Structures are given as C-alpha cells and as structure tokens.
Structure 1
Amino acid sequence: MTDQTIEHRTNEPLHSYGDAVEWITGLIPFGIRPGLERMEKLMELAGNPHRRLKFIHVAGTNGKGSTCAFLTSVLLRSGYDVGTFTSPYITKFTNRFQYNGNDIEEDTLLKLANELKPHVEAIAASELGSPTMFEVSTALAVLFYATVTYPDYVVWETGLGGRLDVTNIVHPVVSVITNIGHDHMDRLGNTLAAVASEKAGIIKPGIPVVSAVTQPEAVEVIKQIAADKQSTLYLLGEQFHETELAVSQDEQSFRFNNLFRTIEPLTITLNGAHQRTNAAVAVMTLEVLRQYNALVVEDEALTEGLRNAAWPGRLEMVSQAPRILLDGAHNPEGAQSLAAALKNTYKYDRLHLMMGMLENKNHQDVLKHILPIVDTLIVTEPDFRMKKDANAMADLVREMCQQQPDKYSFELVVEQDWQAALKKLQQLTETTDLGVVTGTLYLIADVRSRILYNSDSEKGW
C-alpha cells in the first residue's frame, strides 16, 4: 500500500453515524494523555467556539453525573435551554451529548465529526500527535452546543481529574467539586491532597466554586487554591447545609439552608444519603448563579426539578421479579455509599451481589465495604479490555476472608461470563431477597441493556 493510498483514506469523509462512532472510538489506543495542548489547538482550528458558551463545570470523584442530572432537571423546569455533557455513557454513544434532555441526532453527530476530522488529522500529523477519543468527543460537544443548539447553560462534566482534563479549556460561570476520593490515584496522585489539587484545577480566577469535599486535607487544599484564585468558596457544612427529614425507598426529603435562605422540604427520588449531598450541591450551585448571574429559578421549579431528576445505573431498580438493583460503585467511596444504602434504604431477607471490576481499581478497599453485608458474592468480568480477571478477584476475596474469618460469612461464586453470572444472580434472588449488580459502569451498561431491552448496548467512554 502506498503512502498516497493511506493519505487518500485518511482524508475521506465519514459516511454514516456508525462510521463516525467507529472513527472516534478508534482513537482509544491513544489513551488518556493529560494536557490541554491538543485540545487548545483543536478549538483554535474550529474558531474557539467554546468562548461563546456559559458552562457549569462539574468535577469530583463520585456524584458528578447525579449532580449534573439535578442541575439539568431544575434548569429545564425553569425554562432554560440546557446542554449536558457527561461520561461514560450507559446505553448509546449519543447519550453523552444532550440538549434539553434529548440525545444528539445521529445525522448531527456525523456532520460535526466530518467538520472535526480534517482538524484532528492535521494535529495528528504535527508534533502534538493524534488527539484522543475523549478530546475529539469533547470538541464535538463544544461544536454541538456552540454551532447547532445554542443552550443558555452547558452542564459540563469532567472526564478525569480537573487541572489537565480536556474539559478544562472552558471558562465557566461556576465551578463545582462534588467530593474527593480514592480513584484514579495512579494518574492523579497517591494522596487525597494530591487528588484534591488536581480536581481543584477547574477553579478559575474570580469564579465561584461550590463543593461537598469533607476530608480535612482535601478541604485545606481547595480552600487554599480558591483563595489564591480569589474565588469565593461555598463548602457543604460551612456556607451551606443539608439536613435529612425523611427517607424511604425511592423517595427522601431534606432541608437545605445557606447564607441566603432556607428551603424545605426538598424531595428527590434517587436513593442513598450521598444523593441528598449531590442534590444539595446542585441547589447551592443554582443559588450562587442566582446571586452572581441573576438566574431565575422559582421554588416550584426547584422542587419539581429535583423530584424528577433521574440518573441510570446508580441505585436503579431495573427488575421487580426478581428484584435486581444496579449501582456503578467502582471505587471505595462508591462502595461505602452503596453499602450504607443497602443497610438503610432497602429491605430483604438475603442479599446476593454480582461484581465485575476493571484492573486498575482499588479492589480491596471496595470489597471491605461489600463483603460484610452479602449472603452471596458472584465475581465476574465486564466485557472490556481492561477487565479484572474473575479468578484473581476471587483469590483476593478468599485472602481477605482468611485474614478475618470471623468477619465474613457468604457463599463465593466465580463466573467469568457476565451473562451466565447474571442468570445465576436471577436464579438465586427469591421473592423476599435482593439482587445487586455493581462494579464498573461497563458491566452495569451491559446488564442494564440486557434486563431492560434484552439487547446489547453500545457502551463506553
């Protein structure tokens, strides 16, 4: 094959939605390469469209997606046009790019991909090297909002970290840091303070920041960075508070109060105490925008927007006979929140839990929250290239049981095929029991698609 042939193929336009997704996801081998140089160049070649948009930039270890869902729901209920950019997606690639709650049209995605393709190839041929899949997806989102839909606000979720995350090219109207936890520490640093420093990289000079970070060492870092940037910080437990009023399955209410006012009751249908925290962060973010940007959100719209917010794959009951609950708890803090919800929100005789993880996660600290509460643990493997081997996971479980034999009492099942593991879970879960599927969202996406649609999903980042 001649160089000319390669050149010709490279320059060819994409002909279908499938071609566009294949081209973008085909950039995965370039991996996650921190830094903004390629992204800045891509935006420059596209005419810097991101400068025309109002972004609400959301970072954090857990809770980003739920917080984005609360923000989007309330803003929509208040009459605003809203773009929502999130990752990963649960069902289809288009889920990541939403406008007023609807996915981007396949034809629009194809058109925008063809607009970006020559710029991506020009950068790939330069000393910067090829833009990554996440960079191209982020650029496509910017084009979608800045040149096609023109929303009043874009709810803008970070991918990984903050400081060097490709979403950090934007200058937001408010920055949000949901929390800090033990995830991606191989990339973000091996202490909570180091992770906090990376997440706080989204704080921009003079732009207010809202956070629910609790650990003293992380709070100290965020306070210092906010002070250095002369950005006013609104911190849960200091400038705003959330107080539980009532909790039942699929409904919980809380009191919200801040420097400006108190609102009660506010009700959400997402389960788990951590979701009240995420909702409070969203409410405080909207309160800040009321003060700084003259945002108009009536209390009725706030109440209805919070109640109607939904986020798939997080404490989501996808089957009633048998009862099967999905929760993408893929790091220690997520597992802790899941365990707390299983103890406090759900009723059952026996708990059967199926888990599949990625290789680069903190498996032992996830398992320590799960093992004490289960009657059956089924370890399996997600259908993804970075999967954690089920037998290796089972060995770790056995080792933990040997170290503390009095603490754990459950049946361990090893089934590498996730579909066979799901059948086993469904068979085990009797009428008064609860079946749970947890771990990586790659597994959650497949199981959710199989149960709800009896089909394969497009899943991924």
Structure 2
Amino acid sequence: MMLNKKEPEVFTYEEAAAYIEEIPKFTKKHTLEHTKLFLKRLGNPAVDRKIVHVAGTNGKGSVCAYLQAILMAEGKRTGFFTSPHLVSVNERIRMDNVQIDNKTFLEVFRKVLKTVRRMVEDGIEHPSYFEFLFGMGMTAFAETDVEYIILETGLGGRLDATNAVEKPALSIITSISLDHTAILGDTIRKIAVEKAGIIKPKVPVFFDGSNKEAAEVIRTKGEELGVYCREVTNHAYEIREVHRKYIAFSRRSAYDKDVIFQVPMCGCYQAMNAELALEASEYLLAGEEIHMDRWKQVLAQLHWEGRMERIGAHITVDGAHNPGAMQAFVESVKALDESERGEMILLFSAVSDKKYDEMIECLCGNLDVKAYIVTQIEDERGVPVEELADIFRRYTDRPVYCKERLEDAVGTALDKRGESGEIYCLGSLYLVGMIKKLLAGGAIDA
C-alpha cells in the first residue's frame, strides 16, 4: 500500500514528515541486499567519503558526538546520521552538528521518494522507516562537501541498514549489554555476535572491552577477518572527579598522562565513551598535525541531549532504557557527592519491548529514593502506569505515584522534591523527548 499519491514536488515539509511517520504502517525491515539495492538506485550517495560505523548497546550516540566534535575541531567537515530523535526527525541528519533544515529535508525527501516510487513500480518493496531516513541521510551528505560521515546503527549491527555501507574507514563497538533480546538474542554472547557483524575485512575496529564475554566475541571476529583490533578498557583512563555538571578524567598514555579532560555529563561511563572517541580520532588523523588543546576544549563544551542532561534547576533527564544503562545510571549517581545528589525523586516510564522489570528492580535495590512517579509514554508500546506502579511497589516501600499525563507527573515530581530534592527522569528516550517538549512549551516552570 502506498500513501499520499501526489507527486513528490508537491509535498510540503509537514506532509513529508507525516509520510515518513506513516511508513511503518505499510512496510517492514528488509534485508541488507534490499538496502544495497536502494542505495544503488539512489546512485550510491556518499560512499566515497570516510565513513565511521558505530554499533553497541549503550554509548553509541555519545561516542559519535565526541568523535564529531573532535573532527570538527581539526577543521574536518562531518555528516552524522543518528537515531532516535527526541523532538524532530530532522535531528537524525546533521552536517557539522547542525540538524538538517526543513527546506533541505524536503528537497532530499522529494529526491528519495522519486527513487522509491520507481522501485515500487518495478516490484521492489518500499524501504522501512529507518531505511528511508538512512537513504535521505546519505543523499544529504552526498550533496555537501563533508569529508567524514559518522553512522550510528539503529538496531544490532549485522543486519542493520547502515551495514550496507561496504567500505567504512573505521568501525567502533561501544558497551554491550542485554537489550532488544527478542531480536538480537538473550545472552551477551549472542548480542555481541550481532554487533560484531559490522566488522569488515581491512577495516580496523576499536571497541569497549569492559565486558569480557563480549570482548572475546569481537576479538575472535576481528582475528577471523585479519583486521586490527584496538580493545579499550578502564586501564586506558583514570576518573579524577565526578561532579553534577561534568566528569573529569586523565588518560594513562605517556603522551596524555598529565592532561585532564572534562565532559559536561556526570555519567562515569562517559570516560570510556570519550576515550573510545579520542583513540579513534588519533587513528583517523594519524600523520596529520593534531591539536590536543582543541580536543580538550570541544569535549568540555559538548552538549549531547538526553544523556544525564540538566534541563531545569532541579531536573535531570537520562535516556537509560535497558538494564545495563540503568546500572550505569546508578553508578553515576552514587559517585556524586551526597549534597549534589540531593533527595532523589525518580520519574519513570518505559515501552513494552524493554526489560522494565529488571530496570525497576535495579533502581529500587541500589538507590535511596524519596518517591517514585510513573507516567505514560505517548506511544502504542507505552507500558500502562498501573503496571509500572505495581512493579515498583514490589521492590520498594517508598511512595509511588501514578500520573498518566506527563504534565501531572512533572508537577507531582516538583511538588514532592521539597527544598533540597533533585528530580531524575529516565526509562526511555521517548520520555526524554516528551519532557523536553513539555518544558520548551512553557506549560511548566521547572
């Protein structure tokens, strides 16, 4: 079934965005061969650029953002394809860290839709939501003079649409933990196999070696293909300070051992993400003059939405949405000085395909929380508030408040925090986007 029969040239931006949102209703994910054919029909856009392909369970977006910032600090033009978006679909396609504007978005949409309609006429299925946007991203990058393109996988790696790019300059695999187990497998090993599927012959891979089981899978895959593997562990850096507004760390390499780096997010895991980006950048820029002082500066100034992000005087949002990310959140909060942590109010929601029972158990079992507020995600997969509340009550004797409307949930959190409380909102990136949109609209003064 095809929606909206009008010619591509007639679409407005709003109609283009609406068309893309409707794609999941009439098509599904396809094979890599289908995506390769789609890209070929588009003219194989931007495949001649230096492409960095990034997979992993947690930390992908942060590593991509750090890498983009460092490359830009050295005067390199960059394209960045990322997901999901928090407020606008334009966020997924960025040039030099500026999201694609509506005019360019529409121009690229029209070109891609023309190609897709010819494919459908020839009996080739319509690309999925993610595949269509990936085609748009590569088309947009091809029409600029970006030298580097950073591709963040959507789901998994081996079968992800971004893996249709056959000759990246570098592959990066971030932290691996249990997520999307119904699709990727129910063990770390199985998930690591899917992530390691982005490793290609003659393409070096840099990876987070924190999980021994995942690291073994990645090393084995790299050895099979005869590629250079750089395993980064926590021995590569030392955390010096954890503050509500930043984390400071030093690198243990002889060159940088006395240099203190800061990233403006308090998650302890961000030191690993930043180290991966630093080492990847050193590889990509080998042989060129690098300016470490610039790298320090851009990392300290980086703004990456939804990752331990302070969005109000007493509100922090975090996109943690699986057990591994939840454990990392717990460790980061515990590393804060008690005066900075404050009396904790947790606002939580989740979607049904996540391990929300395990996430809730982790929070209740490891943090001293004054009160919990659960709310509803604006998505058909959103878990009902009463179900979430019942799980919280199974693991805690602290007050649990149910508020279906987000505005009521945030209002309750502000009310319950008292004089010294701090509000932490997590469980889903959908929730982060909803809260940011709510506060931007001025409905609540936070």
| TM-score (norm. length: structure 1) | 0.90
Counterpart residue type for residue 330 of structure 1 = H
Indicate whether 1:17 and 2:5 are aligned: no
Q: How does 1:230-241 map to 2 (within 5 A)?
A: 230-237=226-233, 241=236
Give the match for residue 112 of structure 1: 108
Distance 1:8 1:255, change over 3 A: closer
1:306 to 299, 306, 316: 299
Structure 1 residue 32 displacement after superposition:
5.3
Kept in 2, the 8 Å contact 1:375–1:409? The answer is no
Paired AA for residue 356 in structure 1: S
Q: Distance in 2 between matches of 1:441 and 1:366?
A: 14
Instruction: Choose 119-128 or 425-434, whichever is displaced more.
Output: 119-128
- 1:180–1:413 distance in 2 versus 1, CA, 3 Å: same
Match of 1:334 among 313, 325, 339: 325
Moved more, 158-167 or 268-277: 268-277
1:247-262 equivalence runs, <5 A: 247-258=242-253, 262=257
- Match of residue 447, structure 1, among 432, 435, 439: 435
| Inter-partner Cα distance in structure 2 for 1:318 and 1:261 | 33
Q: Which consecutive unaligned segments of at least 5 residues does structure 1 have? A: 402-407, 457-461
Q: Which amino acid aligns with 1:279?
A: A
Q: Which moved more, 1:60-69 or 1:370-379?
A: 370-379
Among candidates 329, 335, 344, match of residue 344 of structure 1: 335
Query: How far is the alpha carbon of 1:314 from its aligned partner?
Result: 1.1
Equivalent residue for 1:391?
A: 386
Deviations 1:172-195 (A, max 9, x none): 111000111111111111111110
Cα offset, 1:338, TM superposition: 1.3
Residue 168 of structure 2 corresponds to which residue in structure 1?
172
Q: How much identity, in percent, do the aligned residues show?
A: 26
Write the mapping of 1:374-385 to structure 2, written as runs, cut at 5 A.
Answer: 374-385=369-380
Using the alignment, how far apart are the partners of 1:452 and 1:25 within structure 2? 22
CA distance in 1, matches of 2:103, 2:3: 26
Aligned CA distance change for structure 1 residues 261 and 437 (closer, same or farther; 3 Å): closer
Task: Tell me the amino acid that sits aligned with residue 177 of structure 1.
Answer: I
8 Å CA contact 1:113, 1:140 repeated in 2: yes
Length-normalised TM-score, structure 2: 0.93
Q: How far has the Cα of 1:34 moved from its partner?
A: 5.1
Query: What's the offset of the Cα at 1:128?
Result: 4.2
Which residue number corresponds to residue 239 of structure 2?
A: 244
Per-residue displacement from partner, 1:109-160 (whole Å, max 9, x unpaired)? 111111111221233355542210100100000000012x121111111101
Corresponding letter in the other structure for 1:387: G
Mapped pair 1:28 → 2:52: no
Residues 8/182 of structure 1: CA separation in 2 closer, same or farther (3 Å cut):
closer
Tell whether the 8 Å contact from 1:348 to 1:432 is kept in structure 2 after alignment.
Answer: no
Q: Does 1:153 align with 2:144?
A: no
Which whole-Å deviations, capped at 9, do the CAs of 1:295-331 have from their partners, x for residues lacking one? 54311121112112121111111111xx111111110
CA contact (8 A) 2:8 2:114 kept: no
Trace 1:16-95 onto structure 2 (pairs within 5 A).
16-30=12-26, 33=29, 35-95=31-91
1:325 to 316, 332, 341: 316
* 2:3–2:19 CA contact under 8 A, matched in 1: no
How many pairs align?
439
Q: Deviations over 1:241-295 (max 9, x none)?
A: 111122222122212245986462112112111111110110111122133xx35
Match 2:290 to one of 289, 293, 297? 297
Do the aligned partners of 2:54 and 2:150 also contact (CA within 8 Å) in 1? yes
Query: 2:320–2:426: 8 Å Cα contact kept in structure 1?
Result: yes
1:297 corresponds to which letter in structure 2? Answer: I
The RMSD of aligned alpha carbons is 2.2
Stretch deviating more after TM superposition (196-205 or 418-427): 418-427
